Amino acid sequence: MTDPNPDLVLVTGGSGFLGAHCVLALLNAGYRVRTTIRSPARAADVRAQLAAGGVDDPGDRLEFAIADLTADDGWVDAVAGCRFVLHVASPFPSRQPKDPDELIVPARDGALRVLRAARDAGVERVVLTSSFAAIGYGHAPTDRPFTEEDWTELDSGRRISPYVRSKTIAERAAWRFVHDEGGALQLATVNPVGILGPVLGPDVSASVELVRLLKEGRLPRLPDVRFGIVDVRDVAALHLLAMTRSEAAGQRFLAIAGEVMSAQEVALLIRGHLGEAAGRRVSTKLMAPWMLKAAAPFSRRVRDSLPDLGTVRRASAQKAISVLGWSPRSREEAVIATVDTLPTYHPRRP
């Protein structure tokens, strides 16, 4: 084992929405970056997204490693010589699978593969991209904001989606590994809510897909759902703070910009931003609950959304703000940045 290069950082999943922004933020901060991709062909996707973000030629400050969350091959080489690891890659399907293990196993086992390889390579700290999904679900209704002290209650008897289960189980497994087997390896986690912001390429979040559907007028009526929003640039910035600040070791950090927004509020914001002509297609009408319930037997996506109807899950980013000095953009700016960068790209399905 060689001493880690103080300037070399591994980002897993650099071709993804958040992964590409993390690579971009690291390069702009002067780091050398190695990023994992599942096949050599994805290198061109990463470079194209960096160019869209303003970095046309990173030169020898960017390199690639072939590795997949579902296999051991490649991870030793991926982490070799790295001081830090941002483990961003995680399965995020466009719809929930019938078998929860399709998400849980690669999320949990992939995180453990990365952590084990990082420990063996002498990596100083891993920052794991978790989610608000690992914090705010399975609880009785409450008006108080969720914080990093909360964990999703998987055995509460309330309906929990496979995605929420996967993020909770993966993060718990990561903390348990570092506690029991991590040695000197440090861990921090970032737990964002719905991520929006500048779209650099075809791989986008489910939140971006919602904005695209609203902008294109493909949602004639909106479900009565509310969710937190954070800009992808600020989530990337929080990863760098969690990577470098000594206070971040062993800590979780929620990422949210202000209060939650309803789907109707997001639609109104988009409609106003687009102007009278282009905004006319954006519907702001709510769907009656009985309509969703009637459609539930015929659509798994509708069934998955029913537990969230009318539910408000507030969250606080005070810890990231006070401990790390994190300063996020407004939720409105995140929505508008998404709208303004969507026209060129067509989301790629997982």
Catalytic residues: 167
- Longest Cα separation, the chain: 62
Considering Cα of 315, then 321, then 128, then 340, what sign does the dihedral take? positive
Residues 6+ apart with CB under 8 A from 3: 122
Using CA atoms, how far apart are residues 171 and 168, in angstroms rounded to an integer?
5
**What's the token pair of residue 147?**
């914080």
- Rounded to 5 degrees, φ, ψ at 228 are -80, 155
Contact call for residues 141 and 22 (beta carbons, < 8 A)? no
- 286: which DSSP letter? B
Of 189, 227, 203, residue with least CA distance to 87: 189
Using CA atoms, how far apart are residues 45 and 52, in angstroms rounded to an integer?
11
Using CA atoms, how far apart are residues 257 and 330, in angstroms rounded to an integer?
6
Hey, is 38 helix, strand or coil? coil
**What's the token pair of residue 63?**
């390199």
Residues 6+ apart with CB under 8 A from 327: 234, 321
- Residue owning tokens 């190695």: 34
